[in-house]
Structure 1
Amino acid sequence: MPELREERQEVGTCVELFAGGGGLAMAVHAAGFRPLLVNEYAKRACESLRINPPDASEPEKRWPLVPGDVRDIDFTDLVSDEVDVLAGGPPCQPFSLGGAHKGMEDERNMFPEMFRAIRELRPKAVICENVRGLLRPSFRPYFDYILNEMRLPFVERGKDSTWEDHNELLEKLIANDSVDPSQRYVVKEMEVNAADYGVPQIRNRVIIVAFRADLGVDWTEFMPKETHSEEAMIHSMREGGSYWTRHEVDPEVRKRVIANLPQLNYESEKVKEKLKLEPWRTLRDAIAGIDENEGNPLPPVSEDAVKNKLVVDGIPDHIGWPGARLYTGHTANLLDRPAKTVKAGVHGVPGGESVMQLDDVEFANFGGETGYRYMTVRETARVMTFPDRWILDGPRGEKMRQLGNAVPVKLGMAFSKAVASALKSVGALEAPERQK
């Protein structure tokens, strides 16, 4: 994306937890925050962070990676500088529709470690991303407790106290407004679809942003607004629309896409407002190249490349893979829609989420279904708005797992830049020349 190519101006510092394949870490860094510590547990994801520099213009620099279990980290011992932003997405499997749904009882629930990091680092702001499953009725009470813990992270839960008892105490303290502002945070959660922020993927998530109360930040002035809409995408795909000037496709394919477009009520005030935004990006857009990759289309994957698992034109991770087939409940990605949510999958690559329907209905898939193929890792990385320079470590399944667990870089940047602007508005960020 253009923001990653612009000259980066350092504005503050950050600590990144649960970094995974590096999506949110890249976003926060690109927004100007210098990483003081980056933590990740998975070995393959750690290796991805090791081999990729934060900034392509400084290839000799590396992330300040502290690998291993976050529960073993003493933040006060490792981080001596003031921390402006603490960012991270605690493992989502406990709350994901694709997980075991154990929630707060799941040992993978790492929100308590996020709160411990807040206590030890006292960051000015926190950015936290997680799955929309936290908002399900069965988890909503615990999600409200998570928000309350983030508001009062220094009020620790006793070893013999249940989370319900602790939440009752937190609610009383919040109602009384009796805790010193330097010991509490103002918290706001937002339900977002990454497609609404220019990511070529339907990805519904919850973003939690918190500011230390003593800073007096008014987040409502800086919350990122949606920049793209489905309505604008539909309009751009009408006959003669701008979408078809960007993509030369077979007339029969174009005709089929247009025939399946839903109708728009152009008299609706809501539709009129949505049409002022940019069109949703599609999978075809991502493959053709958008943002940082604009003008750099990925070459087609041939039947031979699929059959023999060949690297296409020497492009890292652009490798054919045979055997794509659809599964019950999993339809393929359509080229002229945003991709479906990229998922990590319990066993690596899942079913229909990684399969794409091709324009060529005769395309032989070798062990799979004609007219379909698996997306390459590089295509999937583009759907996650990772730059092409970013190389993922491990076999295909592990690379797809890293991408499925990541935050789309473009979505992370929207919130990271907004947090930087909010902190600047109250003078909470030092001048860049003082941060050398």
Structure 2
Amino acid sequence: MSMFNVVEICAGAGGQSLGLERAGFEHLLAVEIDDTAVQTLRNNLGRDNAEPARQDLETGNPVKEGVQERKDVVRHGDVADRQVWDPAEYADQVDLFAGGVPCPPFSIAGKQLGTSDERDLFAWAVHQVGIIKPKALLLENVRGLSMPRFAAYRQHVLDELAEQGYVGFWKLLQASDFGVPQLRPRFVLVALQQEYAPYFRWPDTSQYPSSSVGEVLKDLMASRGWPFADKWAEQANAIAPTIVGGSKKHGGADLGPTRAKQAWKKLAVDAMGVANEAPGPDWPHFNIKPPKLTVEMVARIQGWDSLENWPIQGRKTSQYRQVGNAFPPPVAEAVGRRIIAALRKEGEAEDMPELAEAVDHDPVYRVLKQAEKPLTSAAIQKLLKEPYGEEQLSRRIAYLHRDFSIETTEVGGKPAYTLGGFRGFIGQEDHERHKSFEGKARGQIS
């Protein structure tokens, strides 16, 4: 039995779940809104993932011993719906609160709406820390959250965590540094109670050997007798572009936008869809007809060893989306192990003088937050340690307007600014998020 437990939200197909179980966590709860991903979680959580899943003799579907007894571990529905689960019921019982909250609010490929996107659950998740009071928090999202556009958002998160007695750490992690053959940057937030924070270290990636698409997929490409599998593996001697699982709002399964498809072409992969099976003995040379990837191959690129040990439910497109949107298990495992080491207080404690205050993601936000009266641009500049150019300062204030209420008045004939409340959804009953979801079937929310 594991000594450490986890409550996980927005669990998807369980990439993070699998990594955390391998790190040494046991799930008290996993919450997911997608119907088919819930089936995947119920079929896998808690199972010994060293052994292939047993198959039902009548349906052929993989099952596991004790699945009926463990189904209550997985809850199905909107994670912010108290009828699905109540965070207060888990107060002071949780070692790790984790999740991969929706990415579109911060995606570089999207509009980066942040708090204006009804799918934004990052602030909501951070707010639950004050209710659940876990020893540690782990949230992951896309690289876009690390951009200047969201500097004040990040600062707000660190400030709220500090007020609750946590020290937060942000870091951009590259999946390829953990032996995953893919360009998959993920922006990760880890926060720990002050008692444990001095013992946290990010994983040492030097222990992970690099790998290429060809190396990890050669056996799967050769599995049906394709005679050019070895030569193909030599051609595919690089890491893949980021796997794009996509959403229910956009078409079927393919491997991403135009630039990604061009990168796949260099790896001799047809990125215009996902195949049902590996190329067979009659499949021509990859220069004539590049093969498509199967869901199993996509999972391997995401860091799954084998889907035999973590079967994905649903039809092909749903399987691809579940796998494509996942947090790579090796990255989740590595971060999970470092969190456990901190909870065990392993190693030397580091001095941590008010870390949240020392890291200024957005100095303009900080100045306005601390101000006792409206500030003009000139007054803001005087309070900054390193003054901005006028254009840069105007851009920062415009960014603040998107995620916070900013009251604009006049002081001496000049615009003056007062920082108001955060616009993000943290559970308010009158928030715009509820109107956006009103009348939508659960399966339409992506």
Report the TM-score when normalising by structure 1.
0.62
Q: Which amino acid aligns with 1:390?
A: W
Q: CA shift at 1:398, angstroms?
A: 1.5
1:135 to 146, 158, 166: 146
Q: Secondary structure at the match of 2:202?
A: coil
The yes-or-no answer on 1:10 pairing with 2:2 is yes
**Cα distance in 2 for residues equivalent to 1:376 and 1:143:** 37
Render the CA deviation track for 1:110-163: whole Å, top value 9, x for unaligned. 0132123212210000111111111222223223223333333xxxxxxxxxxx
- 1:37 and 1:79 in contact (8 A); partners too: no
Shift of 1:25: 1.0
- Between the aligned partners of 1:132 and 1:369, the Cα distance in structure 2 is 34
**Aligned-pair CA distance for 1:396:** 1.9
Query: In the alignment, what sits opposite 1:65?
Result: 74
Match for 2:243 among 333, 342, 350?
342
User: Residue 348 of structure 1 contacts residue 401 of structure 1 at CA under 8 Å; is this kept in 2?
Assistant: no
Q: Is the 8 A contact 2:191 2:197 kept in 1?
A: no
Whether 1:376 and 2:356 are equivalent positions in the alignment is: no
8 Å CA contact retained: 1:280, 1:338: no
- In structure 1, C-alpha distance between the alignment counterparts of 2:315 and 2:94, rounded to whole Å: 35
Amino acid in structure 1 at the alignment position of 2:11: A
| Alpha-carbon distance between aligned partners in 2 of 1:401 and 1:409, rounded to the nearest angstrom | 16
Is the aligned partner of 1:283 residue 2:213? yes
Going from structure 1 to structure 2, the CA distance change for 1:149 and 1:288 (only over 3 Å counts) comes to farther
Separation in 1 of the partners of 2:222 and 2:65?
Answer: 26
Cα distance, 1:358 vs structure 2 = 5.8
| Secondary structure in structure 1 of the residue aligned to 2:28 | strand
| Count of residue correspondences | 300
Verify: 1:212 aligned to 2:193, yes or no: yes
Deviation, 1:54, is 2.9
- Residues 1:226 and 2:235 aligned together: no
Q: 1:278 to 1:418 in 2, by over 3 A?
A: closer
Please say if residues 53 and 59 of structure 1, whose CA atoms lie closer than 8 Å, have aligned partners that are also in contact. Answer: no
CA distance in 2, matches of 1:299, 1:202: 24
SS of 1:69's equivalent in the other structure is coil
Deviation of 1:11 after TM superposition, in Å, equals 2.1
Relative to structure 1, the CA distance from residue 60 to residue 299 in structure 2 (aligned partners, 3 Å threshold; closer, same or farther) is: farther
Match of 1:294 in 2: none
List alignment gaps of at least 5 residues for structure 1.
1-8, 153-182, 228-276, 290-296, 304-332, 428-436
Relative distance call for 1:105 and 1:334 in structure 2 (3 A) is farther
Aligned mates of 2:223, 2:209 — CA distance in 1: 24
Question: How much does 1:397 deviate?
Answer: 1.8
1:209 is displaced (CA, Å) by 0.6
Counterpart of 1:425 in 2: which secondary structure? Answer: coil
| Residue among 39, 43, 55 paired with 1:47 | 39
- Structure-1 residue corresponding to 2:268: 357
Deviations 1:62-98 (A, max 9, x none): 4610110011134346437710001111101111123
Q: Residues of 1 paired with 2:95 and 2:140: CA distance? A: 17
Cα displacement (A) at 1:363: 5.2
CA 1:223 to 1:395, structure 2 compared with 1: closer, same or farther past 3 Å?
same
Determine the structure 2 residue equivalent to 1:26: 18
Whole-Å separation in 1 of the counterparts to 2:214 and 2:167: 40
Closer/same/farther in 2, CA of residues 80 and 20 from structure 1, 3 Å limit? same
Deviation at 1:399, TM superposition (A): 1.4
Counterpart in the other structure of 1:246? none
* Residue in structure 2 matched with residue 390 of structure 1 by the alignment: 310
Tell me what 2:415 maps to: none
1:280-319 Cα deviation digits (max 9, x unpaired): 1111222246xxxxxxx5644578xxxxxxxxxxxxxxxx
2:268 maps to a residue whose letter is Q
Aligned-residue offset at 1:369: 8.7
Look up the SS of the partner of 1:20 in the other structure. Answer: coil
Instruction: Give 1:373 shift.
Output: 2.3
- In structure 2, list runs of 5 or more residues that go unmatched: 52-63, 227-233, 271-278, 348-446
Residue 348 and residue 407 in structure 1: after superposition, are their counterparts in 2 closer, same or farther (change >3 A)? farther
Q: Could you tell me the percent identity over the aligned residues?
A: 30
Contact persistence 1:91–1:110 (CA under 8 A): yes
CA distance in 2, matches of 1:399, 1:54: 20
Contact 2:235-2:268 at 8 Å conserved across structures: yes
Following superposition, the deviation at residue 348 of structure 1 comes to 4.2
State the Cα distance separating 1:416 from its structure 2 match.
0.1
What is residue 184 of structure 2 aligned with on the other side? 203
Larger deviation, residues 340-349 vs 405-414 = 340-349
The 5 A counterparts of 1:237-386 are 279-288=209-218, 299-300=222-223, 335-345=236-246, 346-351=250-255, 353=260, 357=268, 370-386=288-304
CA distance in 2, matches of 1:118, 1:340: 34
SS of structure 1 residue aligned to 2:149? coil
Classify the secondary structure of the residue corresponding to 1:139: helix
SS of residue paired to 1:90: coil
